[in-house]
Structure 1
Amino acid sequence: MKLHIESPLIESRPLSLLVQRNVWLKLDALQPSGSFKIRGIGTACEAYARQGKRRFISSSGGNAGMAVAYAGRCLNIPVTVVVPQTTTERAKALIARENAEVIVHGASWQEANALAQSMLSDDAAFLHPFDDPLLWAGHASLVDEVAAAGMKPGAVVLSVGGGGLLAGVVQGLRRNGWHDVPVIAMETRGADSLSQSLRAGHRITLDAITSLATSLGAKQVCQEAFDLARSHPVHSVVVEDIAALNACERFLDDHRILVEPACGASLAAVYEQIPQLAEVDEILVVVCGGATATLDQIRQWAARPDIKAA
């Protein structure tokens, strides 16, 4: 069985009316594991299973771990996921619900990843959350589905954490001959490693993740995403946490789908009407998903004085 679904591609009437142009949504929030991650991670897990691997080990702030856990359960392969201390209780519970072992270690993904790497053995496969060609090839299927639907976007809006989705989408655009379609790469302030890297001209490492969008919390974007951001038309945009949180609530009202702040960063591009989209007629937003935040959490975060004042 295929581990990911062909997600719906719909026109958003509320967002289209808001910006007076067509806005399309690729609803990967409806994937079985709750996010786009299952596209690439499912591809990788199936490849490793064919190689005879008997255990999957991953490091994740939430969504990648959920995808590995789901894939492992479907393939009858045991899974261990190492998550950082910033991971929400809900995310840990959802990973464990897929019968995976959850280990909490370190203040950020980097520390969790170091422990996960130390646990590898010959019969185990390591599932990186964003830096693996197998993942990018799997994520590229998202663009294949859009092309098969006969819709060519004027721009693709997506969120960037470690850069796996960006790398996959650009790969998908290129293999469909859409070299001219720009990507709007959205980050939240405090998790903006791509934006800072592009300004510096080389990959930088953030001192810490200070954004609430912990799913975007890679201190350094992967080399592939950085290189593609300089060779493909990619526009880097950073929004405040409050804009991402407000977008989550507005999207819930508009489309009855709850997403986490990492996805809210992409939706904020339309709700905040960023200038980079001012001349784009057919806007495609990757609703990447994320089952790790509840509505109560989103409202609590948005009510914090330091967030409201941003």
Structure 2
Amino acid sequence: MTLHIETPLIESRAMSFASGRSVWLKLDAMQPSGSFKLRGIGLACETYLARGARRFISSSGGNAGLAVAYAGRRLGVPVVVVVPETTSERAKALLELEKAEVIVQGSSWQEANAYTQSLIRESDAFLHPFDDPLLWQGHATLIDEVFHFGLKPDALVLSVGGGGLMSGVIEGLYRNGWQDIPVFAVETMGAASFHAALNAGHTVELDQITSVATSLGAKRVCEQAFDWSKKHSIQSVLVSDQSALTACERFLDDHRLLVEPACGASLAAIYEKIPELDEFNNILVVVCGGATTTIEQLRKLKLPALNSIGEKNNENPD
């Protein structure tokens, strides 16, 4: 028995009609922790517990931290989550609801993460948000479920932040013999570390994150994600913050499910009928989730102040 659940796979009639092709949704926003993160982090937590870990530590107040907190509660292991001062009260409340000890430290995720490293003891396990082979192995179960359902898409669309989801999804494609399915990796402008890596020919660190899609806010994509780009057909797609936010609202209307802007990025690729998808008739979209988002937050972000968000939103790069 796993900590994550098998999530629904449905055809979206609204998105299919809007895009002129069949659009299937893997609804990982319905995981108990609110995002796909539980697949990989759940496996990692179980593995580290079996290896003798007696406490889990995370430095994310976003989806990764929530997945660690959920896994720790279920496994009966204490959890410490260090978050920066910019973390929302809602995120902290959700962490505390899962019985995690929440420590507020620093003005950015980088500062919170540095403090986290100073807390780690020999019997602790540190859970990285995206750069761990155990995470990729766990995330690959998403494709296992699609395979067993009996649906083989022509193309797969997902959002990319640190690259953990994409690394796991492609691992899942290969272990199910679906290495011919191309992946469309969607990022928002201002959080496009994978796009920058493709342009440079190696991973690079962005100067800053200026997107409101804070869960995509990894300044450098993991090496595994970039390595996959040399072996697998991956096309980088960029959308605006406004497009991602609008897609979140449309998706709420269409499916009664609220997701964060990071997830809205991949949905925007469908709603806006990007030309890169014109030749494909059967598309799978990973609805990755986002537990800390509220409709009020989305509406505030859609105000003209978008361009003033800047580096202050770089607190939870999941």
Matched, 1:75 2:75: yes
Deviation of 1:107 (Å): 4.1
What is residue 273 of structure 1 aligned with on the other side? 273
Decide whether aligned partners of structure 1 residues 84 and 194 sit closer, same or farther in structure 2, where only a CA change above 3 A counts: farther
Question: How many corresponding residue pairs?
Answer: 308
Deviation of 1:132 (Å): 0.2
Q: Which amino acid aligns with 2:84?
A: P
| Counterpart Cα distance in 2 of 1:126 and 1:155 | 34
Q: Which amino acid aligns with 1:71?
A: A
What 5-or-longer segments of structure 1 have no aligned partner? none
Q: How does 1:1-310 map to 2 (within 5 A)?
A: 1-306=1-306
Q: Mean Cα displacement is larger for which, 107-116 or 187-196?
A: 107-116
Q: Which amino acid aligns with 1:117?
A: Q
Deviations 1:200-255 (A, max 9, x none): 11111112211111111111111101111232111111111000000000000000
3-state DSSP of counterpart to 1:91: helix
3-state DSSP of counterpart to 1:6: coil
Decide whether aligned partners of structure 1 residues 182 and 108 sit closer, same or farther in structure 2, where only a CA change above 3 A counts: farther
Deviations 1:85-118 (A, max 9, x none): 4433222221121011122334443332222222
Q: Mean Cα displacement is larger for which, 104-113 or 281-290?
A: 104-113
Deviations 1:38-94 (A, max 9, x none): 000000000111112110001214000000000000001000112234433222221
Q: Which amino acid aligns with 1:245?
A: L
What is residue 316 of structure 2 aligned with on the other side? none
| Counterpart Cα distance in 2 of 1:86 and 1:143 | 34
| Counterpart Cα distance in 1 of 2:106 and 2:214 | 14
Aligned 8 A contact 2:61 2:81 in 1: no
Q: Which amino acid aligns with 2:205?
A: T
Aligned 8 A contact 1:28 1:288 in 2: yes
| Counterpart Cα distance in 1 of 2:87 and 2:186 | 21
| Counterpart Cα distance in 2 of 1:89 and 1:257 | 21
Q: Which amino acid aligns with 1:244?
A: A
| Counterpart Cα distance in 2 of 1:10 and 1:49 | 34
Aligned 8 A contact 1:189 1:239 in 2: yes
3-state DSSP of counterpart to 1:81: strand
TM-score by length of 2: 0.94
Q: Which amino acid aligns with 1:192?
A: A
Q: Percent identity?
A: 66
Decide whether aligned partners of structure 1 residues 307 and 275 sit closer, same or farther in structure 2, where only a CA change above 3 A counts: farther
TM-score by length of 1: 0.96
Decide whether aligned partners of structure 1 residues 136 and 91 sit closer, same or farther in structure 2, where only a CA change above 3 A counts: same
3-state DSSP of counterpart to 2:279: coil
Aligned 8 A contact 2:212 2:306 in 1: no
Q: Which amino acid aligns with 1:249?
A: E
What 5-or-longer segments of structure 2 have no aligned partner? 309-318
Structure 1 runs of 4+ aligned residues shifted over 6 Å read: none
Q: Which amino acid aligns with 2:67?
A: A
3-state DSSP of counterpart to 2:238: strand
| Counterpart Cα distance in 2 of 1:89 and 1:251 | 25
3-state DSSP of counterpart to 1:231: coil
| Counterpart Cα distance in 1 of 2:48 and 2:36 | 19
Aligned 8 A contact 1:12 1:24 in 2: yes
Deviations 1:285-304 (A, max 9, x none): 00000011100110111122
| Counterpart Cα distance in 2 of 1:199 and 1:107 | 31
Aligned 8 A contact 2:16 2:23 in 1: yes
